[in-house]
Chains A and B, each alone.
Chain A
Amino acid sequence: GQNIDQPTEMTATEGAIVQINCTYQTSGFNGLFWYQQHAGEAPTFLSYNVLDGLEEKGRFSSFLSRSKGYSYLLLKELQMKDSASYLCAPRGYNKLIFGAGTRLAVHP
């Protein structure tokens, strides 16, 4: 079956670092995506991992361990505009499956 698990909500302070964890089980695996979604808007692409290890992209980094079915998204130097939902999305054979997302609230 398919299952994706992320924390429902997180809070953090402006300027801090936050790590959002995701564990997954999918039928087939062709990489894992992270998306950001602001309320009422469509998701926007943040990062992609297909091999184990860390991918860094500016303030955002994403890590993958395929053997553990585990990924995390690391956000550095948090800004107020980073308040949003973050969606972990492993790709199965030909489709993305989304977790419920983690709602991150950044406060001053």
Chain B
Amino acid sequence: GAVVSQHPSRVICKSGTSVKIECRSLDFQATTMFWYRQFPKQSLMLMATSNEGSKATYEQGVEKDKFLINHASLTLSTLTVTSAHPEDSSFYICSARDQRQGVRWNQPQHFGDGTRLSIL
């Protein structure tokens, strides 16, 4: 079945560092990928929708200059947290669904394993 791979799984770094997280669809093409953030015991909050070959669509309240998204190919999207601070510490999860022609339109979104980001 469809698999989404996310890397790294855990990052611990100093305040002010920029951190890049990669999300890959392993056996399908994803023109759209989604980035979520989850704080402890809270819901997954959609941060942005990553669109292959065009600009990402950010949800209200998410700073696009802080969270840079690049979706350069049909299988890879990256999220860069620029100049990270302790309040950016969270669980970041990417998601994608198979949108190839001929694939049933009601395919579920599959999730990467998530990246736990800790900023000291």
Q: Which residues of A contact B (CB under 8 A)?
A: 30-31, 33, 40-45, 48, 50, 87, 94-101
Contact = CB atoms under 8 A, between A and B. Distances in A.
A99 B46 CA distance: 11
Contacts of B16: none
Nearest to B105: A30
A30 B108 CA distance: 11
B26 to A, nearest CB: 15
A97 B113 contact: no
Interface residues of B, number: 22
A33 B43 contact: no
B32 A48 contact: no
Contacts of B43: 87, 98-101
The dominant DSSP class at the A interface is loop
Nearest to B95: A96
Interface centre among A41, A43, A97 (most CB of B within 10 A): A43
B34 interface: yes
Contacts of A94: 32, 49
Contacts, number: 45
Nearest to B36: A98
Nearest to A6: B43
Nearest to B43: A100
A100 B34 contact: no
A100 B46 contact: no
A94 B93 CA distance: 17
Given A94-B32, A97-B46, A101-B43, A48 B110 contact: no
A55 to B, nearest CB: 11
Given A94-B32, A96-B34, 19 more contacts: A30-B106, A31-B106, A41-B114, A42-B6, A42-B114, A43-B111, A45-B108, A48-B106, A48-B108, A87-B43, A95-B46, A96-B95, A97-B46, A98-B36, A98-B43, A98-B44, A98-B45, A99-B43, A100-B42
